[in-house]
């Protein structure tokens, strides 16, 4: 493409610091270096995780930064050494890269590659520099992806080529929210047919967990949320019961124990609150229950747990992005989506142009949206 090898000027939403709105600015995006890919982002969704740096909930976060990690686009150019991706490919940037070389990448059950930025939040490329500048300032990236920008640069190990036939304004959800919930059910927990599942939090991640539980044949799926408006979609997607803990006279885990003959086979925390994490652990049945922690809490939050909950045989595990090795799993999920193995339409409640990004966050905070998809570059259909 004509822009290959040149600096691209484009628009990005910058997070200058905590408790400040993102502002749309003109930025410079440098060409990709060795093993890097520059992507024209066409669509990105807003995920709850994007709010953590905005609300100052990440200790030692490196501002200013371009957030967004649930995006999809088309490769504009690639740097030297990139062999599996070429200009024109449809791709999803990966917030969980796969270097293929570290112990986790070589382990069949792990997806926390040494090169992930989650938890570290360094926000720079592998060589310690950034490809983004704005008003003469270095701008950090977010979760090895940064999708609130018309162009981003990611490592080739953080970029997955996807089927050319998929619409990018839906494929973007597979970059994080859908994959996180769905994969937590079908992969991390591997929900068994006929089992009882409890899903705490019915946002984009929780509803995707419901979809996964249903596809794996759970016979009972109990959704928990303090916002009853979320119950309509949850039921449509497979929840058999929905409960607002505020309507209960006893703690919700006790209510669930009564409803499920002592506790659930599987519970999933999709909120990011340590109190609901503890409740999710408690509501899983002793002896065999499995609790998967998915929500991301503030860096300094802690769960205080009575060890007897574990000694009695529960399994508590956590999973980022459904426990998947994303480089291979994400293209596979896109293919399964095209084959109509699952639907994602119910997850998209709003679509708007990029410059309305703060309206999208407002809807999320007000509990009015599941996923808002932002169209970049004037919303050209791809
Ligand atoms: P969301 O804000 O769309 O949904 C959260 C839901 O939880 C909302 O429906 C709320 O009403 C509900 N809720 C809030 N507090 C309570 C409460 N005390 N009791 C019951 N319900 C409550 O967020 P989301 O679905 O985008 O993300 C959910 C979490 O998952 C969030 O913590 C996010 O950071 C995390 C996440 N984790 C991963 C991962 O890889 N593990 C990926 C993406 C998102
Ligand atoms: Zn690795």
Calculate how far, in angstroms, residue 115's C-alpha sits from the geometric centre of ligand 2: 6
Atom of ligand 1 nearest to the CA of 371: 3
Yes or no: say if 176 and 101 are a contact pair by the CB < 8 Å rule.
Answer: no
What pLDDT, on a 0 to 100 scale, did the predictor assign at position 146? 97
Q: Which residues pair with 71 in a beta bridge?
A: 44
Query: Which of 201, 225, 349 has most ligand 1 atoms within 8 Å of its beta carbon, as the pocket-test mutant?
Result: 201
Q: Is the pLDDT of residue 40 over 80?
A: yes
Which one has a higher pLDDT value, 55 or 382? 55
Taking CA atoms only, the protein residue closest to ligand 1 atom 31 is 295
Q: Sorting pLDDT into bands at 50, 70 and 90, what band is 192?
A: very high
Q: Sorting pLDDT into bands at 50, 70 and 90, what band is 381?
A: low
Q: Is the pLDDT of residue 300 over 70?
A: yes
Yes or no: say if 356 and 44 are a contact pair by the CB < 8 Å rule.
Answer: no
Taking CA atoms only, the protein residue closest to ligand 1 atom 44 is 49
What pLDDT, on a 0 to 100 scale, did the predictor assign at position 380? 64
As for ligand 1, residues whose beta carbon falls within 6 Å of it are: 47-49, 176-177, 180, 200-206, 224-227, 230, 245, 270-273, 276, 294-296, 320-321, 364, 367
Yes or no: say if 276 and 251 are a contact pair by the CB < 8 Å rule.
Answer: no
Yes or no: say if 13 and 68 are a contact pair by the CB < 8 Å rule.
Answer: yes
Share of the chain above pLDDT 70, in %: 99
What is the torsional sign of CA 175, 380, 377, 130? positive
Yes or no: say if 147 and 69 are a contact pair by the CB < 8 Å rule.
Answer: yes
Query: Which of 205, 244, 347 has most ligand 1 atoms within 8 Å of its beta carbon, as the pocket-test mutant?
Result: 205
Calculate how far, in angstroms, residue 245's C-alpha sits from the geometric centre of ligand 1: 15
Here the tokens at position 349 are: 């409640």
What pLDDT, on a 0 to 100 scale, did the predictor assign at position 298? 87
Q: Residue range 88-99: average pLDDT? A: 97
Q: Which ligand is nearest to the CA of 157?
A: 2
Q: Please give the CATH superfamily to which domain 181-319 belongs.
A: NAD(P)-binding Rossmann-like Domain (3.40.50.720)
Query: Which of 271, 301, 369 has most ligand 1 atoms within 8 Å of its beta carbon, as the pocket-test mutant?
Result: 271
Calculate how far, in angstroms, residue 250's C-alpha sits from the geometric centre of ligand 1: 23
What pLDDT, on a 0 to 100 scale, did the predictor assign at position 118? 86
Q: Is the pLDDT of residue 382 over 60?
A: no
- Rounded to 5 degrees, φ, ψ at 61 are -70, 140
Domain boundaries, the chain: 8-175+343-375, 181-319
Q: Is the pLDDT of residue 239 over 70?
A: yes
Taking CA atoms only, the protein residue closest to ligand 1 atom 20 is 225
What pLDDT, on a 0 to 100 scale, did the predictor assign at position 378? 81
Q: Which ligand is nearest to the CA of 243?
A: 1
- Quote the mean pLDDT of the chain: 97
Taking CA atoms only, the protein residue closest to ligand 1 atom 36 is 295
Yes or no: say if 211 and 180 are a contact pair by the CB < 8 Å rule.
Answer: no
| Cis before 64 (ω within 30) | yes
Residue 29: Cβ within 10 Å count:
27
Q: Is the pLDDT of residue 268 over 70?
A: yes
Q: Please give the CATH superfamily to which domain 8-175+343-375 belongs.
A: Medium-chain alcohol dehydrogenases, catalytic domain (3.90.180.10)
Tell how strand 70-78 and strand 90-93 pair up.
antiparallel
> How far is the C-alpha of 242 from the C-alpha of 359, rounded, in Å?
28
> How far is the C-alpha of 67 from the C-alpha of 12, rounded, in Å?
9
Atom of ligand 1 nearest to the CA of 177: 43
Q: Residue range 138-156: average pLDDT? A: 98
Which one has a higher pLDDT value, 373 or 60? 373
Taking CA atoms only, the protein residue closest to ligand 1 atom 35 is 295
Q: Residue range 327-348: average pLDDT? A: 97
Taking CA atoms only, the protein residue closest to ligand 1 atom 7 is 201
Q: Report pTM.
A: 0.96
């Amino acid at each position: 493409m004509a822009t290959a090898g040149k600096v691209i000027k484009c628009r990005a939403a910058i997070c200058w610091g905590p408790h400040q709105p993102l502002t749309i600015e003109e930025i410079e995006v440098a060409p990709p270096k060795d093993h890097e890919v520059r992507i024209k982002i066409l669509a990105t969704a807003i995920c709850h995780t994007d709010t953590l740096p905005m609300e100052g909930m990440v200790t030692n976060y490196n501002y200013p930064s371009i957030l967004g990690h649930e995006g999809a686009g088309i490769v504009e150019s690639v740097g030297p050494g990139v062999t599996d991706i070429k200009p024109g490919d449809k791709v999803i940037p990966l917030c969980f890269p796969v270097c293929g070389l570290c112990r986790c990448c070589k382990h069949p059950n792990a997806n926390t590659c040494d090169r992930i930025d989650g938890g570290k939040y360094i926000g720079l490329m592998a060589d310690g520099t950034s490809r983004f500048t704005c008003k003469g300032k270095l701008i950090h990236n977010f979760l090895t992806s940064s999708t609130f920008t018309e162009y981003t640069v990611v490592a080739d190990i953080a970029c997955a080529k996807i089927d050319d036939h998929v619409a990018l304004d839906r494929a973007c959800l597979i970059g994080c929210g859908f994959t996180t919930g769905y994969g937590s059910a079908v992969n991390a927990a591997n929900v068994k047919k006929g089992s009882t599942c409890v899903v705490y939090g019915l946002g984009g991640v929780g509803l995707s967990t419901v979809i996964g539980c249903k596809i794996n044949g759970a016979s009972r799926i109990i959704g928990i949320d303090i916002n009853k408006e979320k119950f309509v979609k949850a039921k449509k997607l497979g929840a058999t019961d929905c409960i607002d803990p505020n309507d209960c006279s006893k703690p919700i885990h006790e209510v669930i124990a009564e409803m499920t003959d002592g506790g659930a086979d599987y519970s999933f925390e999709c909120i990011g609150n340590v109190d609901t994490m503890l409740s999710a652990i408690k509501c899983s049945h002793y002896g065999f229950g499995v609790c998967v922690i998915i929500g991301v809490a503030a860096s300094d939050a802690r769960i205080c747990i009575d060890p007897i909950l574990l000694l009695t045989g529960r399994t508590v595990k956590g999973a980022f992005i459904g426990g998947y090795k994303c480089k291979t799993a994400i293209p596979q999920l896109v293919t399964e989506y095209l084959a109509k193995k699952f639907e994602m339409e119910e997850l998209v409640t709003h679509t708007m142009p990029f410059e309305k990004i703060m309206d999208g966050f407002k809807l999320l905070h007000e509990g009015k949206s599941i996923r808002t998809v932002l169209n970049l570059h004037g919303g050209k259909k791809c």
